[in-house]
């Protein structure tokens, strides 16, 4: 059985290509309830014994880095996926090319992030949450232990978040 998949289920041209060129017996379209990743993975799981056909990568609706777990699932479960439009003669070759592209994109994004963090560090910027000074911690302790104020009151008086008050109240007095 041939299953056509698309996120463009409302496009008549997409449906026609899947039924005519892809010779699909059944069409599965993205539901508005799920994300494209969950929808396509669900289709793969539900129809893994069938031949799954898509027009092109737009029909799946994934960002390039989202293909990594999809590719691994397809390979691990020996799923037959066909692309009507592709840049190579082999569907498996095209899928492998997408996988390699996705892995490369993931590495590039990771590298850019590390470079950006290093440049920010060199420029004197620090990441993470700002530290509060010892006097603010003493004020929190004084309001809680001596004045018996609630955590919410201390947060409003001190100008810090409720989470910060809770964090420093838990520390020893």
Say if residues 67 and 99 touch (Cβ distance below 8 Å).
Answer: yes
Residue 54, phi then psi, degrees to nearest 5: -130, 155
Q: What's the whole-model pTM score?
A: 0.58
Q: DSSP class of residue 144? A: I
Band of pLDDT at residue 45, cut at 50, 70 and 90: very high
Rounded (5°) CA angle 3-77-95:
70
User: Does an H or E element contain 96, and which?
Assistant: helix 91-122
Mean pLDDT value across residues 85-100: 83
- 53 C-beta neighbours (distance < 10 Å), count: 26
Tell which wins on pLDDT, 31 or 104.
104
Tokens of 71: 């590719």
Give yes or no for residue 173 having a pLDDT over 60: no
Instruction: State what percent of residues in the chain have pLDDT above 90.
Output: 44
Query: DSSP code of 143?
Result: I
Q: Residue 78's pLDDT is what?
A: 93
pLDDT tier for residue 10 given thresholds of 50, 70 and 90: confident
For residue 147, give the 3-state DSSP assignment: coil
């Amino acid at each position: 059985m041939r299953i056509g998949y698309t996120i463009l289920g409302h496009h008549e041209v997409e449906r026609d290509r899947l039924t005519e060129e892809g010779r699909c017996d059944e069409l599965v379209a993205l539901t508005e309830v799920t994300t494209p990743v969950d929808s396509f993975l669900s289709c793969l799981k539900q129809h893994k014994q069938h031949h799954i056909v898509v027009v092109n990568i737009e029909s799946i609706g994934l960002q390039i880095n989202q293909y990594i777990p999809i590719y691994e699932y397809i390979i691990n479960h020996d799923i037959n996926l066909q692309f009507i439009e592709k840049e190579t003669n082999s569907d498996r070759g095209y899928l492998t090319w997408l996988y390699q592209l996705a892995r490369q994109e993931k590495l590039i994004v990771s590298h850019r992030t590390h470079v950006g963090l290093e440049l920010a560090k060199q420029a004197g910027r620090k990441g993470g949450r700002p530290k509060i000074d010892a006097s603010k911690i003493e004020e929190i302790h004084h309001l809680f232990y001596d004045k018996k104020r609630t955590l919410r009151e201390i947060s409003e008086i001190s100008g810090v978040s409720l989470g910060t008050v809770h964090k420093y109240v838990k520390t020893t007095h």
